[in-house]
Chain A
Amino acid sequence: MSDESVPLALPLSRFTTDMCEATNLYRELQKPLLRYLVCLGLSRDEAQDVLQDAFLSLHRHLAAHGSKESIRSWLYRVAHNQARNRQKSYGRRFAAPLDAGVESIADHETPERAVLKKEKFERLGKAIRLLTESERECLLLRAGGLRYREIGEVMGISTSTVGDTVERAIKKLAEQCNV
């Protein structure tokens, strides 16, 4: 093998590895990230757009030999910032949909269970309204499967602060909902 072929072979193998990693990340995070974006206040279509843009940014980041450390929190931060920018440009209040409440329950529920579930969600919606914005975001990111360290990286706060915030938020909800 000549010396010239080595520099060509290395980026190709790295490119393949990066693409596999991006594909695995997409499979893992597509659903929770989409749910996170919808819960932040985007419509389903807007959330899909932001999701695609975020993974496009991921491809560019990997192609530019960007750091692979904390790639999940990096992806959430990119999506989070894009969602904020969209909401600013449309003049909407951030995190409004968590206030909006759940209008419909899944069709497979019996009517009695659907009514009970709806009442429970209404109580939960009222309790969520009492949370601060950082508490809501911490809970949303936690529901998306992020570790406390990753939540701290997305929000720019320390891990211990995330732990305290999550603990406080869950206990507030439990008190309000009388769980």
Chain B
Amino acid sequence: MCDYSGRLVAWLDREMQADEESEMERHVATCAECRNCAADLDRMSGAFEDYCEALAQTKVEHKAIRVAPIFWAAAAAIVLAVMFRYPWGQVASPMQPPSMTAVRKIDSSPSLPVEAAKNVRAPSEADHHAARRRAADRTGKGAASPGLCSGQGCAPRKVQGQSANWVAEEPAIQIAIPAEVMFPPGAVPEGVSFVADVSIGADGRVEQFRLRPLPARFERRTDQP
């Protein structure tokens, strides 16, 4: 083996002093063995660098953004916002007519069919007077003031169809929900809609929720004078 073969890598890497390097160059030019060996070592160095580069490329990691938690968090936030927006946003007294906000929301929804929109129950005079009657019953003034609804086509009487344990504190919100939205087509006779009565507690939570079927024809008759 040639004496110069132990310094070939340093020569290839240009890590020698100037005089050593020129001496090495002269030797490699004349020694075929060192020339071949230097070529092999140079190839090996290149192969090692290629290997490192390929390894670095192999280890590229693609971090997928986890969409599911974000999606469910957004969905929960929307549901909570829809549930708690109306009670916090409105302060209604028993003597005020029910708010039209929720009804208008449903009415303006473009996804609802036309018939569904027709079946949405608008707050009528009867609702208004029923609310006033309930408030009067609670305060005990209903009997003392029988003329509360006089001249409006209604008498002070108990509302039919309400269970004994159901006492609506304040009819602040009435959400009319078309039956087509909740049930499959044909499951509910045409023209029937539902009214959800929601009672909100002092802490903002829903205390009672009642779904009441409401025939549309009955509504039309009561609305007429």
A residues near B (Cβ < 8 Å) are 34-35, 38-39, 43-45, 97-98, 100, 102-106, 120-121, 124-125, 128, 139-140, 142-143, 147-148, 163, 166-167, 170-171, 173-174, 177, 179
Contact = CB atoms under 8 A, between A and B. Distances in A.
Chain A interface, >50% SS class:
helix
Interface string B141-162: 0000000000000000000000
Given A166-B9, A177-B47, A43 B41 contact: no
A179 to B, nearest CB: 5
A167 B8 CA distance: 8
Nearest to B51: A124
- Residue of B6, B49, B52 with most partner-chain A CB within 10 A: B52
Interface string B88-108: 000000000000000000000
A167 B58 contact: no
A45 to B, nearest CB: 6
Contacts of A104: 57-58
Contacts of B60: 44
B48 interface: yes
A91 to B, nearest CB: 19
B47 to A, nearest CB: 6
Given A38-B56, A43-B61, A44-B59, A148 B15 contact: yes
Contacts of A102: 51, 54-55, 58
B138 to A, nearest CB: 65
A140 B45 CA distance: 11
B55 A38 contact: yes
Nearest to B14: A147
A102 B48 CA distance: 12
B58 A166 contact: no
Given A97-B55, A171-B9, A179-B43, 8 more contacts: A34-B56, A44-B60, A45-B61, A104-B58, A106-B57, A148-B10, A167-B9, A179-B47
- Residue of A35, A102, A106, A121 with most partner-chain B CB within 10 A: A102
Contacts of A139: 48
Interface in B154-174: none
B7 interface: yes
27 contacts: A34-B56, A35-B56, A38-B56, A38-B59, A39-B52, A39-B55, A39-B56, A97-B55, A100-B55, A102-B55, A102-B58, A104-B58, A121-B51, A124-B51, A139-B48, A143-B52, A147-B15, A148-B13, A166-B13, A167-B6, A170-B9, A170-B45, A171-B9, A171-B41, A173-B47, A174-B41, A179-B47
Contacts of A142: 13, 45
Nearest to A120: B47
A163 B60 CA distance: 32
A142 B7 CA distance: 16
B40 A97 contact: no
